[in-house]
């Protein structure tokens, strides 16, 4: 079986023709890896994730998920393999109850109701929110919503999980829970974030983006401990490496 799950080759993308936001991006992501996508605001982290799921189209180059090119005709096939967690949990959760939201994907894939129920229960257990099963979404806190939004994609049993700023607006306790949950998840994970401490705790590999290009792709600890490199591209050392306890 092919260990490469995502491959991007010479991908260039622009919202406006004159100024490409991503330039000649090439990388491969293997099974069970956890990759941190870091970079200052506006370097194209979210855009890169959206390209992988086909929310942004019209790119140059080639993007493949398990060998299948990410083009319109293949969206149903590729999207079934990918779970994408939006930055804003309110965009991810649109049903009235947690259970219905989690059941949305498996029901769309026409799974029988007992299987849907099994998957929902398992997803809730994985993110430790079994007690929220019947809760109304508007009554949930930001942390609960974030965990629930991760659970919504786990019911799809995806091979790849993409997370856009997962730790944003989380308190320390919820952030720790999130890191714990992410470390337990087995599929390939790509996490776009500014929270370098979280990236350090979850990702073994880091891709540093700047000015729409990949500046460095390599070992997480090595890149995240390189003060000069990070500061040159609008970032800072993770707090734990600055001598400030996390």
Interface residue with other proteins among 46, 152, 202, 210 (CB under 8 A) is: 152
Scanning residues 25 to 54, which ones bind other proteins (CB under 8 A)? Answer: 53
Indicate whether 79 belongs to the interface with other proteins (CB under 8 A).
yes
Indicate whether 153 belongs to the interface with other proteins (CB under 8 A).
yes
Applying CB under 8 A, the span of 36-44, 72-80, 174-182, 220-228 interacting with other proteins comes to 72-80
Give the separation between CA 223 and CA 217, rounded to whole angstroms. 8
**Minimum CB–partner distance for residue 205 and other proteins (Å):** 24
Q: Which of 194, 159, 156, 163 is nearest to 181 (CA)?
A: 163
Indicate whether 92 belongs to the interface with other proteins (CB under 8 A).
yes
Applying CB under 8 A, the span of 10-18, 30-38, 105-113, 172-180 interacting with other proteins comes to 105-113
Indicate whether 136 belongs to the interface with other proteins (CB under 8 A).
yes
Interface residue with other proteins among 23, 107, 118, 233 (CB under 8 A) is: 107
Give the separation between CA 118 and CA 88, rounded to whole angstroms. 27
Half-sphere exposure of 130 (CA within 13 A, CB side): 8
The CA–CA distances, whole Å, from 208 to 94, 164, 211 equal: 33, 15, 10
Residues sharing a CB contact under 8 Å with residue 213, sequence separation 6 or more, in sequence order = 22, 23, 24, 25
Interface residue with other proteins among 2, 26, 57, 96 (CB under 8 A) is: 96
Q: Which token pair is 138?
A: 């508007």
Indicate whether 191 belongs to the interface with other proteins (CB under 8 A).
no
Indicate whether 214 belongs to the interface with other proteins (CB under 8 A).
no
Applying CB under 8 A, the span of 62-70, 83-91, 168-176, 220-228 interacting with other proteins comes to 83-91
206 exposure class (CB count in 10 Å sphere: 0-12, 13-18, 19+): buried
**Minimum CB–partner distance for residue 92 and other proteins (Å):** 5
Applying CB under 8 A, the span of 61-69, 133-141, 191-199, 203-211 interacting with other proteins comes to 133-141
Q: Are strands 160-164 and 60-65 parallel, antiparallel or unpaired?
A: unpaired
Give the separation between CA 117 and CA 7, rounded to whole angstroms. 34
Indicate whether 59 belongs to the interface with other proteins (CB under 8 A).
no
Helix/strand/coil for 79: helix
Nearer to other proteins, 165 or 201 (CB): 165
Indicate whether 95 belongs to the interface with other proteins (CB under 8 A).
yes
Q: CA 9, 13, 19, 21 torsion: positive or negative? A: negative
Alpha helices in 34-97 (DSSP H): 45-53, 75-81, 89-92
Contact residues toward other proteins (CB under 8 A) are 53, 55, 76, 79-80, 82-84, 86, 88, 90-92, 94-97, 100, 103-105, 107-110, 113, 116, 134, 136, 138, 152-153, 156
């Amino acid at each position: 079986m092919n260990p490469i799950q995502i491959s991007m080759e010479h991908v260039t993308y622009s919202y406006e023709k004159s100024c490409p936001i991503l330039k000649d991006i090439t990388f491969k992501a293997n099974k069970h890896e956890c990759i941190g996508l870091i970079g200052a605001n506006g370097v194209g982290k979210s855009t890169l994730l959206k390209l992988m799921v086909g929310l942004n189209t019209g790119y140059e180059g080639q993007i493949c998920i398990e060998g299948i090119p990410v083009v319109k005709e293949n969206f149903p096939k590729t999207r079934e393999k990918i779970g994408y967690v939006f930055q804003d949990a309110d965009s991810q959760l649109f049903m009235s109850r947690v259970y219905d939201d989690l059941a949305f994907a498996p029901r769309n894939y026409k799974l029988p109701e007992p299987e849907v129920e099994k998957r929902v229960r398992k997803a809730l257990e994985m993110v430790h929110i079994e007690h929220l099963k019947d809760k109304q979404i508007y009554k949930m806190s930001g942390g609960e919503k974030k965990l629930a939004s991760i659970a919504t994609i786990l019911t799809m049993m995806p091979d790849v999980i993409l997370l856009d700023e997962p730790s944003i607006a989380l308190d320390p306790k919820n952030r720790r829970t999130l890191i714990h949950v992410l470390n337990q998840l087995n599929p390939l994970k790509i996490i776009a974030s500014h929270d370098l401490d979280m990236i350090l705790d979850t990702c073994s590999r880091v891709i540093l983006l700047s000015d729409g290009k990949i500046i460095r792709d390599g070992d997480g600890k090595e890149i995240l401990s390189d003060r000069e490199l990070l500061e040159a591209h609008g970032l800072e050392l993770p707090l734990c490496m600055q001598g400030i306890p996390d």
